[in-house]
Amino acid sequence: MPGIVIVGAGFGGIGMGIALKKAGFDDFLILDKGDDLGGTWRDNQYPGCACDVPSPLYSYSFELNPNWSRLFAPQQEIWDYLRMCARRYRVDEHIRYGCTVERMDWDDDTRRWTIVTVEHGEVGSYQARAVVSAAGALHLPSYPDIPGAGSFGGASFHSARWDPSCDLTGQRVAVIGTGASAIQFVPEIAAQAAHLTVFQRTPPWIHPRPDVEIPARLRAAFNTVPLTARACRDVIYLLMEARALGFAVNPKLMAPLERMARRHLEKQVADPALRARLTPDYTIGCKRILLSSTYYPALQRPNVDPITEGVAEITETGVVAADGTAHPADVIIYATGFKVVESVTSLNVAGRDGRKLTPENLEAYRGVTVAGFPNFFMLLGPNTGLGHTSVVFMIESQVQHVLSCLRILAKSGADTIEVSEQAQRRYNDTLQRRLRRAVWSEGGCDSWYLDADGINRALWPGFTFEYWARTRRARRADYAVTRP
Ligand code: NAP
């Protein structure tokens, strides 16, 4: 029986495993539904997939990579980096692949979690003293509920399940969605397809992407003088954090970011009618700010049609827009995002007395622990996503919080630790008060950050250093421990 089961072998699960190893704790297992580690960087293999946070920051603070080829590294490099980290710290030996978690139940008598899995078609189960959910929020593709979708006669797939066997050369391709994924692959496939129709429901705010190759000389300096790599990361951290002023302090401070996006649109789109169709009507930052210097030019290619009327239905031969115009297609690509709430609830976690994590009650203390769920921890849990910088920083803060809880257990000779209802309530009331004033609620848009009741259960509303300072150590007073 492993002491700790970690669910998911992405940035969260691998980071947790490394921290446990460093702390001298070898008794853990990582379960992953895929056939390789990497999480989102394994799943998303669409053309042009890259990180939109600079790589020196989108990496572990304890394992800087001096060899990033570009400021915004492509998917393959990030995936390779994560595999290298897993190997270097021998965390890969702890991973079980092809293992989907169906259910996790706490048993108050045995004081253990039972994790029910389906492994290569067979139902199995594990018992563990503690569970860390590192499944991430963006791993269940969301397919839109468009009438007639099942009748389409051509190929169709989701951006996070890219079909490499589907050659788009010379095909008529329809893309539904214009979020962070679509704007990365639309410029890549525009030249390949005979015709590309891009269905936009809500225009995104887009900034130029300041991507550059990292010169060999600079990479050599990062390798020989590691302090230079650290300094580079720190400068990027501060620049990104400055953007949080508008998110965290006052939405009015978003104005310079909006001016920058408007200038980018004006510079790249000359036609005022098209520009109007591509201009958002909500405050910048309300949805994720996207980065691309090639998306607007791609939309203006002669073989590309941006459709802004909305989608009415899908037929056997293509997509019909809301104005009744039929757009024939051989391939439909859904770039329609992920089921965020279900990413946690699909694990069917049942705590003390059968309590469930449901979409309506999805909250946690510091995004990590939940009252009624002893020895249960989440990485990238509720309200720990970011609109302005790297979530790897958040993961590292959460990993420290988990270790701190485990230390409390060890010191007190206890075998369960559970956050108090009061601490969780206080924390979330304050958080939601702050969120009500933030751009995601005030900015006049709908986004996956808000649930069906308009409650933001996705994002952290502040600076990341504040989160780090408050989270990395568990406050003993906020937790109850029990002895065997
Ligand atoms: P997304 O941001 O949720 O975008 C989904 C797109 O699909 C939106 O344009 C949405 O329109 C549209 N859509 C959804 N349902 C639709 C429907 N029924 N009819 C028409 N359009 C529909 O998804 P994503 O682009 O996959 O990105 C998800 C998240 O992944 C991002 O926010 C980001 O956190 C992450 N990501 C990160 C990177 C990176 O480089 N680090 C890259 C890609 C993704 P509306 O706007 O109107 O809802």
Residue 13 contacts residue 32 (beta carbons within 8 Å): yes
Q: How far is the CA of 181 from the centre of ligand 1 (A)?
A: 6
Structure tokens at 299: 């939309």
Query: What pTM was estimated for this model as a whole?
Result: 0.96
Closest residue CA from atom 23 of ligand 1:
337
Per DSSP, which regions of 8-119 are E strands?
28-31, 95-96, 99-107, 112-119
Q: How far is the CA of 404 from the centre of ligand 1 (A)?
A: 35
Q: In a mutational test of the pocket of ligand 1, which residue from 46, 314, 336, 339 has the highest number of ligand atoms less than 8 Å from its CB?
A: 336
Q: Average pLDDT per run of 10 along the chain, which is 484 residues long? A: 90 98 96 97 97 97 97 98 98 97 96 96 96 94 96 98 98 98 98 98 97 97 96 97 84 89 98 98 95 98 97 98 97 96 88 90 95 97 94 98 96 95 97 91 90 92 96 96 90
So what's the pLDDT on residue 124? 95
Radius of gyration of the chain (CA): 23
Structure tokens at 410: 């060890």
Give the CA count within 13 Å in the CB-facing half-sphere of 178: 25
Nearest to 39 by CA among 290, 392, 472: 392
So what's the pLDDT on residue 1? 57
So what's the pLDDT on residue 178? 98
Structure tokens at 198: 């891009």
CA distance 119 to 13: 18
Q: How far is the CA of 265 from the centre of ligand 1 (A)?
A: 20
423 three-class SS: helix
So what's the pLDDT on residue 272? 98
So what's the pLDDT on residue 236? 97
What is the number of other CB atoms lying within 10 angstroms of the CB of residue 107? 12
